[in-house]
Structure 1
Amino acid sequence: MSEIKKSALDLYIIERVKQMRQDRNMSQAVLAIKLDVSDSFIGAIENPHHRAKYNTEHINKLAVIFNCSPRDFLPEKPL
């Protein structure tokens, strides 16, 4: 089976969320609880070799969790 690659945009969003999570000393498990997903799902998202990624509902919930705008997870210019 061929490897599913994440897009540059997916990787940017994932890295941004990871950075915000780490800046707040929040574990994957705590983020998973707040996002109402399994902690293994967060681990799969942060692993570039897994196909898991955030969807628009996740991004909206993440904005609530981190008290920011959903736009804060997107790059200023297209990738």
Structure 2
Amino acid sequence: MAKKSIIARNEKRKRLVEKYAAKREELIKAGDYEALRKLPRDSAATRVRSRCTLTGRGRSVYAKFGLCRHMFRKFALEGKLPGVKKASW
């Protein structure tokens, strides 16, 4: 499980991205890179990390489900993910 501070930091970044999205897009279209540079760094969408919604794990996260591979496998085997079943051939 990821540290709570890491998860909180990522949530803060998500809020900043949402807050500055319109302004950032406007500045990019205008080509005003000097004003763009003055915006907070964490307001850039590339700074947000996709994390598992249950554990906060930052690697191997399936975007479609919002789960890391461990939780995905656990829920898939328990039958808690609709439309997902173990492959057999």
- What range is the shorter-chain TM-score in? 0.3 to 0.5
- Could you say which structure has the higher strand fraction? 2
Higher relative CO (Cα under 8 Å, sequence separation at least 6) belongs to: 1
Q: Which structure is larger by alpha-carbon Rg, 1 or 2? A: 2
